[in-house]
Structures are given as structure tokens and as C-alpha cells.
Chain A
Amino acid sequence: MMRLLSLLAALLVSGQAAAEDVTVRVTTPAGEPVAHAVVSLPGALPASPADVVHEMAQEDLRFDPFVLVVPQGAEVVFPNRDRVRHHVYSFARDNAFELELYGREQERSVVFDAQGNVPIGCNIHDNMIAYIRVVDTPHAVVTNADGVAVLEGVAAGPVTVWHPYANAENNRLVLDAPADGSTLDVTLDVHGRR
């Protein structure tokens, strides 16, 4: 009984201490902001997927967004807002798919069951490239144009920063979480630009 109580107390304490917001700012060695980086911290996914619509649109012969992060098991819709057809595909292991999307076709979707990176392209328009990163945590955010990502209410744990063009092993860095309330500044060397 005492053991159970102390365990409970320990859980409560760690729970209180852990829930906090983490701000991460990603820049190149030259100090330029790095957008489209996925910042994540560990966490348990809910048993059933959250009721969120994830979208990888095609518009003006580009994918939008360039980088999308989704939890494992998420459904992603692929609306084609162009008047020409697109043939969207990925050869990603465990997440391979292809969709022939006619002009203005809005309804098609794909469920991504395996975690990992899903580079996607269009068979008709070679310049169309984007990335979907499937993660096993609910705590993952893509950096904005200022290179900043804010993760709310996360538990303690290492911070992973991934970018499709990062010059790093597996395109990512793994860093210690910042001290309470402070911003973690990350320098990430990336090649090429969207």
C-alpha cells in the first residue's frame, strides 16, 4: 500500500513538473531561419486518432505544405485545387501509395500506418516534391517562416529536429530539452531550399 501511494505521489510530482511549453528556434549556421523543420518530443499517442484533418494540397503545380507532420495512423487528404490532373506517389517503405487525382478532385485520402518519412512526388510534374513525416508522438510541430516551433504541454525528453534537407545523420539532430521556459536555439545545416 505504501509503495503504491509513493508511486502515485511520484507520478503526480513528475506529471506536474513535466507539463510545460517548449519553444525551439532553428537557424542555419549563417543565422537564417529554417522553416519546414519538424520538432518533436516523445509522448504517447492516444488510443484512437484525434479528429484532425491533415491536408497535403496541390495548387499551382506545387504541394502545400512542403513538410507535413502527422501522428501514426493519421488520415491525410490530398485535395487537387489545380485544373490539371496530378499523379501523386511515394515509394516510402511501409507507406507507399499512389493516387491519380483529376483536376479539382478534392476528396481522396491516404492513411499512414507506419512511422517514418514519406517523400512524395507527382508523376506528371517532376518539380513537385514534398515530405510527410509520420511520428509516434502527439508532440510534433513544423517550424514556421521564422524557424520557430512551439510545443505546448509536453513531457520531459529529448528534442528531435528533422528537416528533409538537413546535413545530419538521418536528416536530424537529437538534443536535450531546454530548461524551464527557455528557448532552445538549434543550428541546423541544410542544403537546398524549397
Chain B
Amino acid sequence: MIELAEIHRDFLVGDQVVHALDDVTMTIESGEYVSIMGPSGSGKSTLLNLLGLLDRPTSGVYCLNGQDVTSLSDIEQAQVRNREIGFVFQMFHLVPRLTAAENVELPLILAGMLPERRKTKVADVLEDLGLADRSHHKPDQLSGGQRQRVAIARATVTEPRVLLADEPTGNLDHKSGTDVIRILEQLNERGITLIMVTHDPEMGQRARRQLRMIDGRLHSDVLNSDHVHHGNEAS
């Protein structure tokens, strides 16, 4: 469960203070499917980075699973990122010299897991995402949709409770974009909290809960009860 209380994030641009996040307070329950939309510069990416502990708020408190993570040291935050949070980026961010399997293995290596356990976990996740036959390919031998699936495998191999996706379909054609969204939604149905930033209304409206940001503030917070494929509220 994610709790944000009076979060501010200010940037200094030249001698002007820009309020990228201006007094954001909200709660996201475990297993929710949330989309964050809004015009560019509205602070949605800043919010996502903050949720992923890639950035620290200027003021305010962020509690993840009941623990105040804003006061943690860099090393402790790194551990939280490693175990609790998965990232999916618009640009995939695969390491080009490593194979698909090795890319997926990276977070487990950083966690200090032993090779035998890593290999089985990686194989399971790749199998699950239909990439078993692609596991020894380098990223440049994969299509865009396959790359993003590898990235999703990497984000979920540590079994995090939160999956953060920043424009996950932004670099994909419509068909593979829809594929990727379906995969993310399936993961959400299995219980992972899915938070997705997008400027694409079609994608955004698939989420059960839709946040709209404008000028660093939470402008609207809509629950869309029509969506039935999201069946896992109880947690």
C-alpha cells in the first residue's frame, strides 16, 4: 500500500522555483490498477519517479507498506527498489551487450542471489511471458514488443509488489502496444499494484482508477467501475 502525504517536489530552473509536485496527498491500495494522465510538464513523471524512489520529495511523507521510505538512506532505498518495485520504461533500457536472459537476471545479481536460483527464476519468467525461445538473443535481435516484454520480465523477476510503467507503449506500434498492456494487466490481475503513466487516453482509460495531473496538482481521481477484467480488489 502506498500513502503520500503533502508531497512537494520543487525544482530550481535558473533562479525560478518550479513546483513539479504541489501538495499531493493520496493512497493507493495493494493490487490497484492506476493510470496517471495529464499534459506534459504536469508532474506525472516526477510523481512516478518519486513513487519508485528514484527521486526524493522536497517535503512530505511517503509510506510504502507502512514504512516511511523518505527517511531511508541511499543504500536502504536501493534495497527497497530492488525488492519492492519494478520499473518499465518507454525506452526499454535494456543493456545492449547482454542477452535477454542476462538482462532479466540483473536485478537478481544485484540482490546477491546465487546463480542456480537465478537461472530457474529467469527461465520461469521468460517462459511465462512467451520469450523462452528468445532468451539468448541480444536486444538488437528482438522486436520492440519483445524488448518491452523482456523489460517487463526484468521488472517482475524479483516479484515486487508495485510495478511502475512510464509510457510503456510510447515506443511501440498499436498492436504490440496492446499486447504489452494486456501483459501488464494480467500481472495486475495476479495481485501486483500497477501504476502507469501515459498521455494516451485510450490506454489510460483501461485502468480502473484514473488520476489526472495538472500543474503539479492532483486534478481528478476517478474510479471507473465498468472495468470487469480487474478482479482483485480484495487486499
Q: Do A and B bind each other?
A: no
**Contacts from A to B (Cβ < 8 Å):** none
